[in-house]
Amino acid sequence: MTQKIIDIISTGSSCPPEHLKKACAYVREKRFLPRTPTVFFSEHPLYICHDEQRLLNLKEALYAEDSDVIWCLRGGCGTSRLLPKLLSLAPPKKKKNSSALVM
Domains and CATH numbers, the chain: 5-86 (3.40.50.10740)
Q: How many helices (H) and strands (E) does the chain have?
A: 4, 3
Residue 71 CA to residue 49 CA, distance in Å, equals 17
The predicted pLDDT at position 35 comes to: 96
pLDDT (tens, 9 = 90+) of the chain, 103 residues, equals 688 999 999 988 888 899 999 999 999 999 999 999 988 888 888 888 899 999 999 999 999 999 989 999 887 788 999 999 989 999 999 888 766 555 5
DSSP state for residue 66 in the 8-state scheme: T
- Model pTM score: 0.86
Instruction: Find all residues with CB under 8 Å of 43, minimum gap 6, and list them.
Output: none
C-alpha 21, offset from chain centre: 14
